């Protein structure tokens, strides 16, 4: 999908610490996961974060509205569970694009299981008296939205999230789910052709420059033409070196 935009919401923040167990505030680990997701996904799509520090307080409704107004296609709420239990919970929306949210949740469940987590629940929660989503984050969302709760903080399940490495693995699985589900492609800043056309006079000249330069030709075959970024950097270096001679 082109021009995909993602809103990542690190749940809680500032005076709202979320759950607290094993000496850890949920607010803090939500942020670690959200930031790692952003680091991975910013190469694939536009990412907006509702917070990037632990001193920002926004209600779930405010977070949902930021996501709504940002033009994002998906709002991803990062949380961790408490109340005793084992495994991940994934809560998808009852209403808005519910089939998309539902399918996304199913793929996420597969990825989390690959990390060795058990499934505690994949569901949507309905508030029947008001005929709306139970959770405010989803209730106020006008776009596809999902809440991920990878593990329980206050049971033996805490072992799944007790290091930065494990939290980053969780984030990686979440990011890979989004990449795979929406078919996102890594955004390449510029192809070597575009860079060289900027330096030289014509596409033909650019191709000749690459083909006749042994250093570039070697790297090009080593990379199999996949890593344009490295190739582009090398071309710029070789071009500038050539100019200095």
The binder of Zn ion chosen from 27, 35, 51, 79 (CB under 5 A): 79
- Cβ-closest residue to Zn ion? 79
Residue 67 CB burial class (10 angstroms; 0-12, 13-18, ≥19)? buried
Instruction: Please say whether the dihedral angle defined by the alpha carbons of residues 173, 108, 119 and 13, taken in this order, is positive or negative.
Output: positive
Q: Is 52 helix (H, G, I), strand (E, B) or coil?
A: coil
Segment interacting with Zn ion (CB under 5 A) among 43-51, 73-81, 131-139, 228-236:
73-81
For Zn ion, the closer CB: 51 or 79: 79
Q: Is 11 in the site for Zn ion (CB under 5 A)?
A: yes
Segment interacting with Zn ion (CB under 5 A) among 72-80, 136-144, 157-165, 193-201:
72-80
Q: What is the DSSP letter of 118?
A: P
For Zn ion, the closer CB: 20 or 182: 20
For Zn ion, the closer CB: 139 or 220: 139
Check residue 224 and give left, alpha or beta (phi > 0: left; psi -120 to 50: alpha): left
For Zn ion, the closer CB: 11 or 87: 11
**Among the listed residues 161, 147, 163, 118, the one whose alpha carbon sits nearest the alpha carbon of residue 12:** 147
Phi, psi dihedrals of residue 33, rounded to the nearest 5°: -65, -45
Q: Is 80 helix (H, G, I), strand (E, B) or coil?
A: strand
Shortest Å distance, C-beta 65 to Zn ion: 18
Segment interacting with Zn ion (CB under 5 A) among 77-85, 123-131, 202-210, 235-243:
77-85
Q: Is 120 helix (H, G, I), strand (E, B) or coil?
A: strand
Shortest Å distance, C-beta 11 to Zn ion: 4
- Reading the block at residue 217, the tokens are 């030709």
Segment interacting with Zn ion (CB under 5 A) among 12-20, 104-112, 162-170, 222-230:
12-20
For Zn ion, the closer CB: 16 or 176: 16
For the segment 13-32, give every residue that binds Zn ion (CB under 5 A): 18
Shortest Å distance, C-beta 167 to Zn ion: 14
The answer to whether 212 and 204 are in contact (CB under 8 A) is: no
Instruction: With residue 225 as reference, give the H or E element that holds it.
Output: none
Q: Is 35 in the site for Zn ion (CB under 5 A)?
A: no
Contact footprint for Zn ion (CB under 5 A): 11, 18, 79
């Amino acid at each position: 999908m082109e021009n995909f935009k993602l809103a990542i919401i690190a749940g809680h923040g500032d005076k709202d610490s979320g759950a607290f167990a094993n000496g850890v505030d949920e607010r803090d680990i939500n942020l670690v996961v959200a930031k790692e997701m952003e680091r991975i996904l910013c190469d694939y799509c536009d990412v907006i974060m509702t917070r990037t520090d632990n001193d920002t307080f926004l209600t779930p409704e405010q977070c949902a509205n930021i996501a709504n107004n940002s033009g994002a296609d998906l709002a991803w709420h990062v949380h961790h569970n408490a109340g005793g239990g084992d495994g991940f919970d994934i809560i998808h929306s009852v209403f808005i694009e519910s089939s998309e949210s539902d399918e996304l949740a199913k793929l996420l469940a597969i990825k989390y299981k690959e990390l060795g987590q058990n499934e505690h629940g994949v569901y949507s929660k309905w508030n029947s008296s008001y005929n709306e989503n139970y959770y405010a984050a989803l209730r106020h969302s006008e776009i596809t939205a999902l809440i991920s709760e990878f593990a329980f903080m206050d049971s033996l399940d805490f072992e799944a999230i007790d290091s930065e490495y494990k939290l980053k693995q969780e984030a990686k699985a979440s990011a890979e789910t989004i990449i795979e589900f929406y078919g996102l492609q890594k955004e390449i800043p510029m192809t070597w052709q575009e860079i060289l056309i900027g330096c030289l006079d014509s596409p033909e000249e650019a191709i000749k420059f690459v083909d006749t330069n042994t250093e570039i030709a070697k790297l090009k075959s080593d990379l199999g033409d996949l890593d344009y970024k490295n190739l582009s950097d090398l071309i710029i270096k070789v071009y500038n070196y050539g100019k200095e001679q």
